[in-house]
Chain A
């Protein structure tokens, strides 16, 4: 489960020029004339190389690279894992020019709001230029992790052919490819350890890709294909699992029936993470397989997900593993409180819990009573409409905060919330780093007092001193943003929708939150004054997204003119708006290599 994982440290500061040498270090710096390379320099370089290769954190590496030219050079030689938070921040050529020995690449593409249809498709984020450049530069590449990228079957084929030692492919929220591309990867990447397809759109090319894995023993450790909407060859899957002794994580799609899961479990008791397929019985037979026995045999399972097409009477089959579970994902299953409570009652070790709001406040209270180790909670709406019933409220979340004091990350969809509950939550859970609350009805105030949700969110930013990610909702005035600017000193990601009264709100945030990296705003009354007030920040941020606000084209052009290394994209609507002066969507980001050349017609780069 990696929905919107938080980044650990700020993105790489890839400057084009290494910093100039300071006079004090001139003896140790490599100057441009090679004749001054003396014996001590070589030794220092070797020593540095040996030391720097142990640096893993990219934050540390970025700092090290700024010391002097020598450190810059050696750091670039020893960096094997590269993180690129925005694929358009630099060109593939720049990557390969600076870093010569890359084994692992993590690349992110489209902005998050694209997931909610706020951007037309075919915006970009193509993997093609990256894979073709890396194919020549990094023959020893082992790992590629993509998020929100457009990946074609040809890209996958090139990847499979170019990197003989390729080990890990993780595609999160990607699209553009099908089972034929997967088949090539399965077939040609003989050292493949990880093939994880997560929440991606995979077209069904009617290719039996499971059968494409090599015949002999595989190195597979993780195989996740729950998002592949295509039937699979179960016999081939069974064979694959049987010849993959290192397999620990397996996430099946809904075309694998419960009986088939049962057979797989019997053959693979060493699994630690299981995503079940369809959790329902299709054929009524006299002798039903003993599902509980199969689960009982899996002593190592600590992570369970799946449960699509759930028939609730089969849920108790997982009881034998509940006591060991650290992660449970029920977010695709419509489970009522009565079905839920007997299960959760056993999950004492649970740290990560995702579910639908169908478990109600009652279910959340049961979680609070049992799961004292809970770190992450995500509650999704069964009925994701603005005017839906909303079976969970502030009661459930507050109960969680009282029972689960170690809570670090919350994503909560509801229809009713109160300031008092948020204040309590902020006091109960000081370890919160991620707080994302979505009150689904827009502009909803505190349902008890009728007041805006300012004080509640204010308490969250004030008391949760470790908060790095915040998403707000409900009725909010400028006051809420004043609090954010005053207390949100560690906030890196902020999501705002239908909130605020005036430009001052955005100004508070831009002027008050020094660590702000990612700002996404929609449908809020922020205009030119606010945009201008943040100009001192934009080079230090990964991106800013503002859609359906009050920005004028003129102001956006001014910003683009004043900041040459900022790519300012304006995405207009298809309709012929008489009021052309207003900008529908603004997406801007820093870039070392100027505006991209693959922008579609509906994107205007200022």
Chain B
């Protein structure tokens, strides 16, 4: 294969197509976002060759070099939606792969947030709403994203102002007190230790890892959380 590559490269009219470093660059780019990159490349290749058999050989070269790229960057080369297996089925198999290691307890399997399944599903309840929702925390990149999504979901309430970075400004005590005194809803979450905390006290990634469940409570009710939240916050910082 590699021998073939070298030969073809020597005889090839140079249009900067697969067969070298540029190929890997092209392919790497195509694998991540621009799926078209590869097929455009293929188009060019075919137009070069009028001999059909030649085209097939070039295909092998192209796929060989692509496979080399795959071996180099296995993570990048996974294409969206291929092989065509539905998420439903994929999730079930993944669940089994992980639950083989732990006890097959239904509750645990239910709440196994991140990890192998790739989704961090947590239940979101809101005081006064008739039923729950579920969100996948991994779908959001920041507190602001999550805040927007929750606002849409429970559109009858208003979220407290999160400030520029989407995190509750713990340093600004008066702002915090205002929020907690209002009748607006404030999101709280149950962390890995089973404690209920105010959302926004830790960096986003840490939050995704430790959040087991979300609850939208009225600001006035959440006052009780604040001191404990402050305590944990200080502990996490030091």
Which residues of A are in contact with B by a Cβ distance under 8 Å? Answer: 113, 115-118, 153, 173, 178-180, 199, 201, 203-207, 227, 229-231, 254-255, 278, 280, 282, 308-310, 331-332, 334, 356, 380-382, 384-387, 413, 438, 440, 442-445, 450-452, 475, 477, 497-498, 501-502, 522-525, 527, 548-550, 573, 575, 577, 579, 582, 584
Taking the nearest CB of chain B, how far is it from the CB of A145, in angstroms?
A: 18
Determine the distance from Cα of A227 to Cα of B89 in the docked complex, in whole angstroms: 10
Contact between chains at B77 and A386 (CB < 8 Å): yes
Cβ contacts A to B, 27 pairs, < 8 Å: A113-B81, A116-B84, A178-B131, A178-B133, A180-B131, A205-B132, A230-B110, A231-B110, A282-B105, A309-B95, A309-B99, A310-B96, A334-B93, A356-B93, A386-B79, A386-B82, A442-B82, A443-B63, A443-B66, A501-B55, A501-B59, A502-B43, A523-B38, A550-B43, A575-B34, A579-B36, A584-B36
Contact between chains at A384 and B110 (CB < 8 Å): no
Contact mask B73-87 → A, CB, 8 Å, 1/0? 010011111111111
B40 CB-CB contact with A under 8 Å: yes
B164 CB-CB contact with A under 8 Å: no
Using known A-B contacts A204-B132, A255-B106, A442-B82, determine if residue A502 contacts B46 with beta carbons closer than 8 Å: yes
Contact mask B115-132 → A, CB, 8 Å, 1/0? 000000001010000111
Contact between chains at B83 and A206 (CB < 8 Å): no
Using known A-B contacts A229-B110, A387-B74, A502-B46, determine if residue A548 contacts B36 with beta carbons closer than 8 Å: yes
Taking the nearest CB of chain A, how far is it from the CB of B17, in angstroms?
A: 14
Q: How many A-B pairs fall under 8 Å by CB? A: 155
CB-defined contacts of B107 to chain A, threshold 8 Å: 231
Contact between chains at A308 and B92 (CB < 8 Å): yes
CB-defined contacts of A180 to chain B, threshold 8 Å: 130-131
Taking the nearest CB of chain B, how far is it from the CB of A72, in angstroms?
A: 40
Using known A-B contacts A231-B110, A450-B60, determine if residue A116 contacts B81 with beta carbons closer than 8 Å: yes
Q: Which residue of A lies closest to B55 (CB)?
A: A501
CB-defined contacts of B36 to chain A, threshold 8 Å: 548, 550, 579, 582, 584
Q: Which residue of B lies closest to A231 (CB)?
A: B106
Using known A-B contacts A385-B78, A523-B35, A524-B39, determine if residue A116 contacts B131 with beta carbons closer than 8 Å: no
B42 CB-CB contact with A under 8 Å: yes
In-complex Cβ contact of A550 among B39, B63, B66 (8 A) = B39
B192 CB-CB contact with A under 8 Å: no
Of all A-B residue pairs in the complex, the 5 with the closest CB atoms, nearest first, are A116-B81, A205-B131, A548-B35, A384-B85, A443-B63
Q: Which residue of A lies closest to B99 (CB)?
A: A309
B237 CB-CB contact with A under 8 Å: no
Determine the distance from Cα of A550 to Cα of B47 in the docked complex, in whole angstroms: 14
Using known A-B contacts A206-B132, A309-B96, A440-B83, determine if residue A280 contacts B55 with beta carbons closer than 8 Å: no
Contact between chains at B104 and A282 (CB < 8 Å): yes
Contact between chains at A438 and B83 (CB < 8 Å): yes
CB-defined contacts of A203 to chain B, threshold 8 Å: 132-134
Using known A-B contacts A332-B92, A497-B82, determine if residue A204 contacts B134 with beta carbons closer than 8 Å: yes
Contact between chains at A382 and B59 (CB < 8 Å): no
Q: Which residue of A lies closest to B130 (CB)?
A: A180
Please report which residues of chain B, range 86-102, place their CB below 8 angstroms from some CB of chain A when the two chains form the complex.
86-90, 92-93, 95-96, 99
B146 CB-CB contact with A under 8 Å: no
In-complex Cβ contact of A115 among B74, B82, B86, B125 (8 A) = B86
Taking the nearest CB of chain A, how far is it from the CB of B230, in angstroms?
A: 31
Determine the distance from Cα of A306 to Cα of B105 in the docked complex, in whole angstroms: 17
